[in-house]
């Protein structure tokens, strides 16, 4: 069987924030900010991409686009020929700011391929995570993008694994997004290859506490979001982020670097605290920051037939 011309799918993928302070390369959280993608099989060979919103005029619009690369990777992994494709990407997730934009693009492509290949081959949840991790290099962003909620991700000899947890309803995320960007590769290059024994113990205890805080006891979030593994080492590359986090935490607000930064994640224990946090950022920053009051996304990535196909 081959994918018929005219088949069309609609994909929706949430933004994600990884690490959450102490949970470096392990913990991730899906947020209610989304990229949407429509992919339609066309007769002409190759791929053509229209980008609306974030990345318009900046990201590639041909086969080198990361979403197309992810679709092609999935088709190849399942031994299927790649058809001609027309993509329309409506992007809302900021690029290069620690909100999982590359992971969202990869997951968008893999989910689009899953939808296009329905009835030809079936791709289960483990297959989706394996493909996404293969492309992203680590599962901490792609796991919550795929499955939603709070995810713990780890690697085994058989491949990546994950556990999804439901976040306490009192947890109210705020993301503060600057105009500047940050390279994940640069952020990683600033970390040492080894850390002191006591710092490792510190982060193990805080990571365990963070799980309890997020699913049961939000009042513990300030202590639970302390970190000694990565944020201090990266601070020199994003001094304003570091300074604002210190201000927020001094005022009792659980602020951390979102992913590789430079955005700031504040895991407030009630919605009103987000207003306080946003005001502190506005009053203490020298450059413009956008404050996004988001919810935790519990659904993760979705793919459905596009109406064009449904009505055909």
Annotated binding site: 94-104
d(CA 279, CA 275): 6
Q: How many CB atoms lie within 10 A of CB 156?
A: 7
SS3 content of the chain, % helix, strand, coil (to 5): 35, 30, 35
Annotated binding site for ATP: 94-104
Contact 278, 265 (CB under 8 A): no
Burial code (b: 16+ CB inside 10 Å, e: under 16) for 48-84 equals bbebeebbeeebebeeebbbbbbbbbbbebeebebbe
Angle between helices 239-250 and 271-284 (to 10 degrees): 130
d(CA 131, CA 134): 5
Q: Residue 53: which H helix or E strand, with range?
A: strand 47-53
Contact 244, 176 (CB under 8 A): yes
DSSP 148: -
């Amino acid at each position: 069987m081959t994918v018929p011309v005219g088949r069309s799918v609609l994909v929706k993928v949430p933004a994600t924030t990884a690490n959450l302070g102490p949970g470096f390369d392990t913990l991730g959280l899906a947020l209610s900010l989304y990229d949407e993608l429509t992919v339609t099989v066309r007769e002409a060979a190759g791929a053509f991409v229209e980008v609306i919103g974030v990345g318009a005029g900046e990201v590639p619009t041909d086969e080198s686009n990361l979403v197309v690369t992810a679709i092609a990777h999935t088709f190849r992994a399942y031994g299927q020929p790649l058809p001609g494709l027309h993509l329309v990407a409506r992007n809302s997730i900021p690029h290069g700011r620690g909100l999982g934009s590359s992971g969202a693009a990869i997951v968008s492509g893999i989910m689009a391929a899953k939808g296009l290949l329905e009835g030809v081959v079936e791709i289960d949840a483990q297959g989706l995570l394996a493909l996404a991790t293969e492309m992203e290099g680590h599962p901490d962003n792609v796991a919550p993008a795929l499955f939603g909620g709070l995810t713990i991700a780890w690697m085994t000899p058989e491949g990546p694994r994950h556990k999804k947890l439901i976040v306490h309803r009192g947890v109210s995320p705020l993301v503060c997004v600057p105009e500047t960007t940050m390279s994940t590769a640069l952020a990683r290059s600033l970390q040492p290859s080894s850390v002191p024994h006591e710092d490792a113990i510190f982060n193990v205890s805080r990571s365990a506490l963070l799980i309890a805080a997020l699913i049961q006891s939000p009042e513990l979030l300030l202590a639970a979001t302390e970190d000694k593994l990565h944020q201090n080492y990266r601070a020199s590359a994003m001094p304003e982020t570091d300074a604002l986090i210190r201000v927020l935490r001094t005022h009792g607000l659980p602020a951390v670097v979102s992913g590789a930064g430079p955005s700031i994640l504040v895991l407030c224990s009630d919605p009103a605290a987000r207003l306080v946090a946003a005001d502190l950022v506005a009053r203490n920053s020298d450059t413009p920051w956008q404050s996004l009051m988001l919810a935790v996304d519990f659904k993760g990535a979705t793919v459905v037939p596009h109406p064009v196909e449904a009505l055909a």
